[in-house]
Every structure is written in structure tokens, then in C-alpha cells.
Structure 1
């Protein structure tokens, strides 16, 4: 049985229906955290792959409960402040103010032939950057008011530290801009939150084989842009597993990260060092 290092803590996780978000939910629950799982559970017209479903979110609930965790799952869109506010209210009602926030929800619109660069750019910014802002903006003031510290982790990307893969498309530019922007949010809010004992950091994964990457349109983009292939890691690791990112989340939110704030943490098998 895992040590209950997060017993009594409450974790608010976006994009939790599958992939990295589900992994984060299960691993935090395994260590005793109670989970609020938020996901859109619906498609976005410009996204060239199917987004998570209610069935996916139900599976996250089942896997959290299988490790003995408590979870409330909420369907909502991080682009919509009302949806985020409703999820925060549900979290407070069920468990209390979050101690941990993992802003994980994101999209990537890279594809072989881009139908509308402007739409791709704006939709990516709205989910990956505005969605992160909406999440943190809704919860951080409650954490400050409670005055018991906490930890906020924003899931960025290796594209939040580099510009590799840039091809002038709205999708790639929007993804890179949004993931760099997440770092700006973190660095700005760190100054405000640190005196309150609230830590905020970003994690920068290399490629992870989730639905966002493992689909035909992304493979078509790779085929047309071999120099920008985002899985070109320095270590002989083609792609990372979701658990690799979850372990970094745990490092930052557990006692191990109690004095760590304002950092950009690559989990990338050496990708950004190449």
C-alpha cells in the first residue's frame, strides 16, 4: 500500500478524463488526495481528433476509486469561466478548498493540411492558455484566503521552452505560444503567491503517447515536417509514459517540493538539451 503522503489534501485536476490527467488523478488519489476531476467531455470543431467522452471520465472515476480514492467528476470547459467556477464550487462543497491544482487540459491542432490557421491559433490559445488562467484565477484567491499554503502545477510542454517544429502554421505557433504563455502565468503569479506559502511551477513533458499525439493527422504532420519531429529525445526513449509526468507532479506537490516554486521542470529525456 502506498504511503498516504497526501492524506487530507484536495486536488483539482483539469483534462482529467484520460491520458496524463487521468494518471495524475489516480496517482494523487493513491497517496490519499481527494480529487475533483474536470473535463470537457465533448469535441471542439477545429481539433483533428476525438476529445474525451463522459465514458472516459467515468473510467477515471473507476480507477481512482479502485485505489481507494474519493473523487467528484464534473463536465465543463476550461475556456468558460462559468464552467470553471461551477467546478470549483462543487469541489469546495464536496471536499473543501483545493490544496493542489494541476492545470492539465490542453489541445494540439497540428495536422497535415491546416484548413484555417487563424481558427487553429485562437482555439489553441483559448484552451491551453486562457483555460489555465481561468483555472488558477478561480482557485488561487481561495487558497490565499484560506492561508494554509498549497501547490499549483501547470502542465506546459517542451514547446514552452523551445520553438522547435515551427512551420508558420496557426496550430504549431499557437501551441508554442500558449505553452510559453503558461510559463509567464507561473512566473507572474509566483511573486504574488509565494508570501502565502503557495508554490507554483510548470512541467514540460516531451511527447507522451496520448490521444493528442497518437492520431493520423499528427502523423501526417510529422511526415511533412521531419526536422520538427517532437519525439527526438536525446535519450533512447521514443516517448514518455503518463506516469513519468505524474511522478514529477508528485515531486512538486508532496513534501519533496515544499521549498520549490517558480521553476520550469523538463521531463523530456533530454529533448530540450539537444
Structure 2
């Protein structure tokens, strides 16, 4: 049987968290294959994340990069924690292009504290952004996908969603929940032409990883640790002894799931863990 081309021309993709990092890489990759991309991001402080989030100029840069590849990109501000805003945007996309064929949920934050020291606000914001925000987006696109009997959903979780992680209980809980949510969706819609899968990255070379707060978590013995200081410590976490993957590696995993190669894949978790999954049952 000849291999089918991974062609997304004529399809519309909605990517959250696309202002930078993994979301930007996914937006560019999907546009490169011909999809019309609606790139969204909060572009405002979260209130609990201990590092700066994307700004409006970052989302504009994503749109510029998509355009430089000859693609079509519509940048939109979106707070995935707000269900009405999510529903309104999905409705706008459908009115403009006819459908949302692909959803990739990259929007997320990270923070850290021992479990007993987590404030209610930290817990609530983490769950609202990473888990409930994913739910809002998935719920909004499912009816249209089911009606058309066609759709691809990919949620970005984390290797921390596959295991416990000290000082990141709220983050692990949110990302573990994403896996349970998407597996349930996969079963509910398996006979309606909709696939739903999860990608679990480990450390990725993005601002979420590279910031003073996270550096201090992994190098508590150093004052003001730098990227060079933490690189060997991050590398030691990986069986491959690679400190972090490029965001394009996550986009490649998404690429596999949203095209013809993913026709028979649903309810799966694709680890991009640089060997860390080999330690799990």
C-alpha cells in the first residue's frame, strides 16, 4: 500500500499556547503542511506562574513565522480558562473557515512548591489553565467534529503527567488529568471519525524551562544559577543524557498524529521523553 502524503491543505487548525515555544513550533509545522492556523495565547500574566508568559508581540512573531513559510495564520488572544471566550472563538473560526479540523492544546503553565505549601490560588490556577482549559477547548470543538465525522485532537501533557514529581504536585495532577480526559474522549468518539491523543514531552528548550525560578528548583545549592549551570543537571535526568529537546521535536510528534499517519491512532500517549519512559511500568 503506497504511503499517503501528510497534506493538510483545506484543513483548519486551532493551536493554543502558540505565542512561543512548543505552541509556536506546532503552528509553524501545521502551516508548513498547508493548514490554515488560528494561533492563540493569553499574552498576559497568569498571576501564579513564577516567570513571564508570552506577550502580544510573541504571538505576532508566530504569525510572521507562519507567513514566512507561505502559510496563513490568524493570531487571537484567548484565555482558555474562560469557557465563553473559548466557545466564542471556536464559533468565530467555524464561521470564518467552516470548521475546526485540528485542535492542539499547548496552553499551559508551570510552578513549584512542596505540596503542603501550595496556596489555593496556585492549585486553582494550575488546574484551571492546564486541565480545565484543555477541557474547554476540547468540548467546544467536539460537536462540529462529530457532525462532520472527522477531527484530530492532540493535547500536550508532560512526562510529569506520567509520574509523580516532587514540588510539582499541582502540575503533575493537571497533566495526569489531561491524559485521563483525552483517553475518555477517544473512547466516546472512536466511532465518529474523531481521534484524540496526547503528547508527553520531557524538558523542552522553551521559556517555561529556562527561567530563574526553574533553575533554582534544580540547582538549589547555587546562587542565581545560569543556563550553563543547570544544563548538566537537566542532562542527568535523561537516559540519553540530553538536557532538553527542541520544541520542533514536539511539533514532529503532533505532525504524526494529525495527518494520514494518525488515521488508526486514538487514545494513545506519545512520549517524547528522551528515554525517561523506559523507567515507567
Q: What is the TM-score normalised by the length of structure 1?
A: 0.91
d(CA) in 2 for partners of 1:50, 1:153: 25
What corresponds to 2:171 in structure 1? 175
Alignment partners' CA distance in 2, 1:257 and 1:237: 28
Task: Name the structure 2 match of 1:51.
Answer: 53
State the partner residue of 1:255.
260
Report the CA distance between 1:46 and its aligned residue: 1.2
* Alpha-carbon distance between aligned partners in 1 of 2:75 and 2:261, rounded to the nearest angstrom: 28
The structural deviation recorded for 1:137 is: 0.4
In the alignment, the residues of structure 2 paired with residue 255 and residue 97 of structure 1 have an alpha-carbon distance, to the nearest angstrom, of 18
Who is 2:111 aligned against? 109
**Residues 118, 224 of structure 1: alpha-carbon distance in 2 compared, 3 angstrom cutoff:** farther
Counterpart Cα distance in 1 of 2:74 and 2:94 = 11
Q: How many residues were matched structurally?
A: 264
Gaps of 5+ in 1: none
What are the within-5 Å matches in structure 2 for residues 54-93 of structure 1? 54-93=56-95
TM-score after normalising by structure 2: 0.89
What residue number does 1:118 align with?
120
C-alpha offsets along residues 154-194 of structure 1, whole Å, 9 cap, x if unaligned?
A: 0000011111x324xxxx11100011000110111111111
Instruction: Say if 1:162 and 1:272, in contact at 8 Å, map to a contact too.
Output: no
Residue in 1 aligned with 2:157?
Answer: 156
The answer as to whether partners of 2:6 and 2:260 remain within 8 angstroms in 1 is no
Structure 2: how far apart are the matches of 1:241 and 1:251?
A: 17
List structure 1 segments (4+ residues) > 6 angstroms apart after TM superposition.
none
**Partners in 1 of 2:263 and 2:56 — Cα distance?**
35
Give the deviation of 1:215 after TM superposition: 0.3
**Is 1:184 aligned to residue 180 of structure 2?**
yes
Q: How does 1:1-274 map to 2 (within 5 A)?
A: 5-110=7-112, 116-147=118-149, 149-163=150-164, 165-167=165-167, 172-224=168-220, 232-274=237-279
How far apart are the structure 1 equivalents of 2:216 and 2:121? Answer: 20
For the residues of structure 1 that align with 2:40 and 2:262, how far apart are their CA atoms?
24
CA distance in structure 2 between the aligned counterparts of 1:86 and 1:52, rounded to whole angstroms:
22
TM-aligned CA deviation for residue 124 of structure 1? 0.6
Q: Deviations over 1:3-43 (max 9, x none)?
A: 77111111010001111001000000000000011111111
Residue aligned with 1:195, SS: coil
Separation in structure 1 between the aligned mates of residue 100 and residue 119 of structure 2, nearest angstrom: 37
Q: Which residue of 1 aligns with 2:224?
A: none
Q: Within 2, Cα distance between the matches of 1:236 and 1:220?
A: 20
